[in-house]
Amino acid sequence: GIVLELLKEAMVSKLGDTKGFLIDGYPRELKEAEEFESKIGEPKLVFCLDCSVETMSSRLLMRSQSSQHSDNAKTIQEGIENYYQASKPVIAYYERKTQLCKVN
């Protein structure tokens, strides 16, 4: 709820100054998508960056080596699995509404 309210406030404050909004990483779950639509409105387009588990794993491992992140391969794998479980319903939801654009 807090993230949605912050998004709404930021969007409303810029309504006259923009042609649209790009929101990165939200919604992560179907419930968030439904709440967004009921409180703000339906998105015209939803992008899904579609890449393999191997690509995500290698990029996250490189990030952890070059930063303060202490993620290891097991932690990264668990995070990716959790991401897929949460995002599958969101992706299917927007595919049904024909608002989804997958980017390889």
Enter the pTM of the model: 0.77
Quote the CA–CA distance of 32 and 58 in Å, as a whole number. 29
**pLDDT category, 69, cuts 50, 70, 90?**
low
**pLDDT category, 68, cuts 50, 70, 90?**
low
Residue 34 has pLDDT above 90, yes or no: yes
pLDDT at 67: 65
pLDDT at 31: 93
Residue spans of alpha helices (H) in the chain: 2-13, 30-39, 53-65, 73-96
Number of domains in the chain: 1
Whole domain around residue 59: which residue ranges? Answer: 2-102
What CATH number should be reported for the domain holding residue 25? 3.40.50.300
pLDDT tens digits, residue range 89-99? Answer: 999 999 998 88
